[in-house]
């Protein structure tokens, strides 16, 4: 028995998230289909996290366990030949049997893209939030630093989050501009349901004067979802990087 790590990227526009669901097309299902065609077995795929409908990934990690002696290079080529154009396998490697794509993860980075323009961009349609109002990037970058640290993020979790422990550690958070494209980046040891999208919505509320610039710390202390900003749309969100120890990151 061996365990194979697949690193993939995908556009989530046409999918109802990662995890297989009844009556909905998902990324996991499409990848399972491709693996089955090549290896002749319907194998379980273990993913590093769930992603919601419409969310994208620049790097998503998942594993399969198999007794096949298929060459990793050939497996990558075969999968990419079978997969639709909006899913790509960019790395295939053997990992230890005790490796787990979710529980072995030490941190993850998400990015959220905002097209700060009055004009639509056809090449970013469904891939960035169109936000026509002026955006004070310097202000939002300063405010985003208040997310950094170990906090109870109950106020920034969606209604479906039923975890007893909502404490997470954020290592870095920033807002940067490149022309009309504004990107919020956040790295942490874990994230709650809709947490990054609510972070973005809260920053946009600060930009719009609906929340004071020093409001993030107050919101975290309140532990009340109603005190935070709106949930930003899914199509601007990307799982950008998954970090592990050792040579798995290479």
Q: End-to-end distance of the chain based on CA atoms, in angstroms?
A: 23
Q: Do residues 54 and 234 lie in contact, with contact meaning Cβ atoms separated by under 8 Å? A: yes
Q: What are the Cα distances from residue 23, in Å, to 47, 99, 223?
A: 20, 31, 35
Task: Measure the CA–CA gap between 192 and 194, rounded to whole angstroms.
Answer: 6
**Catalytic residue from among 44, 52, 86, 146:** 52
| Neighbouring-strand partners of residue 101 | none
Please confirm, yes or no, whether 44 is among the known catalytic residues: no
Phi, psi of 130, rounded to the nearest 5 degrees: -80, 120
Q: Do residues 116 and 130 lie in contact, with contact meaning Cβ atoms separated by under 8 Å? A: no
Task: Compute how many other C-beta atoms are within 10 angstroms of the C-beta atom of residue 71.
Answer: 11
Which residues are known to be catalytic? Answer: 52
């Amino acid at each position: 028995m061996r365990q194979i790590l697949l690193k993939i990227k995908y556009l989530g526009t046409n999918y109802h998230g990662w995890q297989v669901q009844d009556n909905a097309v998902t990324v996991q299902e499409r990848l399972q289909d491709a693996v089955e065609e090549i290896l002749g077995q319907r194998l379980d795929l273990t993913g590093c996290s769930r992603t919601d409908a419409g969310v994208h990934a620049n790097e998503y990690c998942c594993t399969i366990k198999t007794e096949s002696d298929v060459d990793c290079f050939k497996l990558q080529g075969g999968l990419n030949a079978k997969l639709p154009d909006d899913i790509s396998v960019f790395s295939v490697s053997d990992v230890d049997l005790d490796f787990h794509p979710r529980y072995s993860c030490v941190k993850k980075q998400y990015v959220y893209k905002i097209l700060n323009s009055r004009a639509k961009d056809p090449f970013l349609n469904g891939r960035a939030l169109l936000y026509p109002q002026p955006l004070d990037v310097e202000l939002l970058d300063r405010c985003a630093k208040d997310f950094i640290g170990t906090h109870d993020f109950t106020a920034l979790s969606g209604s479906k989050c039923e975890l007893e422990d909502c404490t997470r550690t954020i290592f870095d958070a920033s807002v940067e501009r490149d022309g009309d494209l504004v990107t919020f980046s956040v790295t942490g040891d874990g994230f709650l349901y809709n947490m990054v999208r609510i972070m973005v919505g809260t920053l946009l509320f600060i930009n719009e004067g609906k929340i004071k610039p020093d409001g993030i710390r107050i919101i975290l202390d309140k532990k009340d979802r109603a005190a935070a900003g709106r949930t930003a749309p899914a199509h601007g969100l990307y799982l950008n990087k998954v970090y592990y120890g050792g040579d798995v990151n290479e």
